[in-house]
Structures are given as C-alpha cells and as structure tokens.
Structure 1
C-alpha cells in the first residue's frame, strides 16, 4: 500500500486516481466525514447509495458506484458497504465486509488507479492496522493508495 498525505477528492479531481473508494453504512446516510463531502460534491454517488435498500444488512461487503465527470476527467466513486450503522461508540467497521468488498473491487477495477481514505478507521472505529492488512491482501498487485487526510 502506498500512503500519501492530502485530500482524496482533490487528488482524484487532478487525475491521480480513476477510482476512489470510501466506506459507507447500510442506512443510506452519508452524513459525516468524507461521505458527506462526496455527497455534497458528487450527488450522483449519493444517488447510487439511495438506489440500494436502506437498512439491509445484505449490503455488507458489496458496493454501489457512480461515474462522475469533474475537471474534464471521469472518476468512479465506490460506496463500499463496510459497516451496518453509524450509531454509538466502539467498532462499527465490519472486517469481513471489508474483505469481501475489497475482493470485489480488485476484480472489477483491476486495471485502475485506486485511492481511498483510512476506510473504517475513523468514524467506523476500526483498527487501521487490521483494515490496512485486509486491503493490502485483497488489492495485492494493484495500483492502490491510501490518502491520509491532512485537514
């Protein structure tokens, strides 16, 4: 895993990535963190989330996506369903769901430059050392980068 500091969305808009992934809950709520920024800047990504069944645990380990045009570039935004809900404290990230969705992404976007934040480790409360190991395993051999947000 390559790690860079910066703003994932800004880097995608300047052409650094073809695909960006962010962790979503299964409640069709993109109300905080990078999900909120994506919802505001790329409403078609939120529309893709809304086309899924709200509150369905069957979404865990799957994704919805939207192709967006920005600055003359096409980016695919992947809403990766890595946690069931956002409420309460503690670990909300589902490590098995991270495995499954990253495996699907590796299959579906194998020839893409992929960028993502620390999925599941912020608001999801997950252990980044565990999650990053999962991502490294599932995306092994692909061009993928974790973007550590600098604020």
Structure 2
C-alpha cells in the first residue's frame, strides 16, 4: 500500500501530471482571510467566491461541518473547500478543528478524487490556524484516501 508523500513547497502548485485536487480546511462561519486560503486566493478567485456563495446560501444547501465543495479552477486542477473547523478562534470549547468533520469531508474528497482519477495535494490540513494535531489528522488521510488508492502529497512550506 502506498503512503502519504511529504515534500517541501507550495501546495497550490503541484508539479505532477494529471488531474489534481488541492484540499484545505475551511471554517463554518463563512470567514476566508487567513492562512492557506490566502495562497489559494492569490492564484484563483473562484474557490473563495464559491465558498462565500455556499455559506451565504447555506439554508438551501449542504454547507456545514463535514461538507466538501469542489471548485474547478483550471482544466486539470480542482480545489476542495472542506468545512472542518467550528469558528476561527481557540476559546472555552478548545481549538476550532473538528476531526470528525475533517474525516467526513475526506471521505467526500476520496469519492471525488476517484471519480476524476485525480491525485490530492494539501498542506497539513487542520493544523495551522485550526489548532489541530497532525498525529490526529494523518491517520484520517491514510484511512479515507490512501487506503482507497488515492495518491496524496502533503506540502510543508519551504522557507
């Protein structure tokens, strides 16, 4: 069985052939403005616009923890907006990350990646501003994606 590939670099510029899905975690408040989303928005306006519209119309759609939205940004590139954090700040209820929601969204991501024949590229999702621990997220990625045959590359930003 293959494993997650770790590399240094920018997850918004995967240098592999074929269809690619760039996955990241969003909050459930409709906020987009810090962390990895800024790198996405510098490259493509569509993921942010789609996320904001999805949140705005949430009464009529599936927006919420565990949901995933797939936005095509180039012929062979998609962005997966995965709702995996409650709010944006660490407070009395702990950190914003919600592992169960990330797990659910990763299952949807696997379905989409398999449907597209795509590889998946991501930063260490849920572990930046969301406050999660990679030791909890990595097994979810292995279980939901790698075990189903999806190639996953995780990017650590090179300084």
* TM-score, shorter chain, exceeding 0.5: yes
Pairwise mapping of residues 98-109 of structure 1 onto structure 2 (< 5 A)? 98-109=102-113
1:86-125 to structure 2, matched below 5 A, reads: 86-88=88-90, 90-110=94-114, 111-125=117-131
Aligned residues: 147
Does 1:34 find its partner at 2:75? no
Q: What's the secondary structure of 1:10's corresponding residue?
A: coil
C-alpha displacement of 1:116: 0.6
CA distance in 1, matches of 2:64, 2:9: 29
Q: 1:5 aligns with which of 4, 8, 14?
A: 8
1:11 to partner: Cα distance: 2.5
> Any stretches of 5+ residues in structure 2 without a counterpart?
none
Normalised by the length of structure 1, the TM-score is: 0.87
Deviation digits for residues 41-61 of structure 1 (CA, Å, limit 9, x no counterpart): 21111111012135x695111
Q: Give distance in 2, aligned partners of 1:117 and 1:96.
A: 18
Is the 1:60–1:84 Cα contact (8 Å) retained in structure 2? yes
Listed one character per residue, the Cα deviations across residues 115-139 of structure 1 (whole Å, up to 9, x for unaligned) are 0110001111011111011111111
- TM-score by length of structure 2 reads 0.83
Distance 1:119 1:16, change over 3 A: farther
Compared with structure 1, are the counterparts of its residues 11 and 94 closer, same or farther at alpha carbon in structure 2 (3 Å cutoff)?
same
